[in-house]
Structure 1
Amino acid sequence: MSAFSEALGVTASGLKAQATRLRIVSENIANVDTPGYRRKMIPFELQRGANEVAQVEPGRVRLDQSELERVFDPSHPLADENGNYDGSNVNLILEIADAREAQRSYEANLKMFQQTREMASGLMELLRR
């Protein structure tokens, strides 16, 4: 396998991982006000192929086990006898920061993918002469 294809494979795995991360973050943002919702988190893992080139793979989605926010609203249908119910443990500011980081990482991988393609095309042009 050529160095160009290996580089394309690595950047493609990074694009896939960041796209998965953005999907998880968007689910968290969409459920920020859902009672009982636990924040989802996704780790990244390095996988080494037969040619020893590491690629990024998203791991299994885990649920944040931190305390759920207690919300006081006696009129809510899920409220207990004291007027409290469990909200979500999603921190909107943290999710927005994660989304921005994932977006920038995605863009960096995309730029690397494009540059690798341009280099391969340039090499092909040189070889044709």
Structure 2
Amino acid sequence: MSDLSTSLSFAASGMEAQAQRLRHVSENIANADTPGYHRKLVGFQAAMDTGLVETTPVHLDQSALTSVYDPGNPLADASGHYDGSNVDLVIEIADAREAQRSYDANLKLFDQARQMTQSLFELLRR
């Protein structure tokens, strides 16, 4: 029974990590047009004592901000440019799909462990 609960814990930690990743992707997409916004990134690591999936602290993508030409914008400099964000919607959508697929894989693992536990209980009842 311990192995089944361990597999449930691993699947649940993976689902939580992917959900957090998806939250940051959503924030990035929502702020794609915010001037000076740096994309948020989150990584994954295994916890030393349990081996469960944990997210690393959020850090900002330090790649160059896009230069936007809009002379009417109050943020524009003398040449009519201001710093946009470094969010690329294509990358964010790809990250969102990857996070969703990873979440689904962990959910299937969780469901499989639940079904195995249920089958075990049915066998024990007989």
TM over 0.5: yes
Q: Among all aligned residue pairs of Structure 1 and Structure 2, give the percentage whose two residues are the same amino acid.
A: 61
Does 1:21 pair with 2:40?
no
User: What are the within-5 Å matches in structure 2 for residues 23-38 of structure 1?
Assistant: 23-38=23-38
Q: Which runs of 5+ in 2 are unaligned?
A: none
Does 1:117 pair with 2:118?
no
| 1:104 equivalent among 78, 101, 104 | 101
User: What are the within-5 Å matches in structure 2 for residues 1-129 of structure 1?
Assistant: 2-49=2-49, 53-129=50-126
Q: Runs ≥4 in structure 1, deviation > 3 angstroms?
A: none
Q: Given residue 113 of structure 1, which amino acid in structure 2 is its aligned partner? A: F
Give the deviation of 1:127 after TM superposition. 1.3
Q: Which runs of 5+ in 1 are unaligned?
A: none
Provide the aligned length of Structure 1 versus Structure 2.
126
Give the deviation of 1:124 after TM superposition. 1.0
- C-alpha distance after superposition, 1:65-112 (max 9, x if no partner): 011001111000100111110000001000000000000110111111
Q: Given residue 128 of structure 1, which amino acid in structure 2 is its aligned partner? A: R
Across the aligned residues of Structure 1 and Structure 2, the Cα RMSD in angstroms comes to 1.0
